[in-house]
Amino acid sequence: MKSPIAIAAIILAALFARTGEAQALYAGVRIGTGIPAGDFSEKATATGNAAYLHGASAGLGYGLDAGIGSPVFGLYAGYDHIQFGCQSGACGTSGKYELTGYSAGVRASVPLLPLLRPWAKAGITYNEMKGSINGTSVSTGKSPGYEIGAGVDIPILMGFFSLTPQVRRIRQRLSPNDGSKRDADYYTFDLGLRVRTPL
């Protein structure tokens, strides 16, 4: 019996082969804001390690994107760096949670409109969160999570570049130094600039 990953790879290969003449590479940069949600945004009711990954507030970040695919389906990879603020004492004097990591997944587009190309994506993330507890730096180490997102490509300069506003929802399962498991949920609202090169 074939594994789900092998079946997915065969389906993707068939889709790319069918639209091979339209495949393209793209790369881009983006800036945006991260908005904490769930327990990550709620004020900590405890202190020390128990307060870590609580009380986060909105922050700014940047990222890189790259991908390959047809006008309908594609694969993508990305890098994220976001500095969230902190409303509680969990972050110490720095007052920040710093998230860095990577993502990869699949993207589906709807090329129905000549000037707007809406798309959706879903993938896995591999992120790390850093902060400070009572002046001591704490890192969760890198761990997996997932993201879903949607956006639109707005072609500019003969279609070789595009402006790309997008929204993403990320859920990251993290492990602070105390051995517990906690979720860091957040949304990002980004504006990107991409260059697209036909193969």
pLDDT in tens, 155-174: 888 778 899 999 999 998 77
Q: Give the model's pLDDT for residue 137.
A: 72
Fold of the CATH domain 4-198:
Porin (2.40.160)
Task: Determine the Cα–Cα distance for residues 102 and 77; give it in Å rounded to an integer.
Answer: 7
Q: Give the model's pLDDT for residue 50.
A: 60
Residues 6+ away with beta carbon under 8 Å from 168: 147, 148, 149, 187, 188, 190
Q: Give the model's pLDDT for residue 1.
A: 46
Kindly report the average pLDDT of the chain as a whole number.
Answer: 80
pLDDT at residue 19 above 50?
Answer: no
Please state the rounded mean pLDDT for residues 17-21: 46
Q: Give the model's pLDDT for residue 197.
A: 79
pLDDT in tens, 95-145: 688 899 999 999 998 877 667 889 999 999 999 888 776 566 777 778 889
E strand intervals along the chain = 24-37, 56-69, 73-86, 96-109, 117-133, 136-139, 143-156, 161-174, 182-198
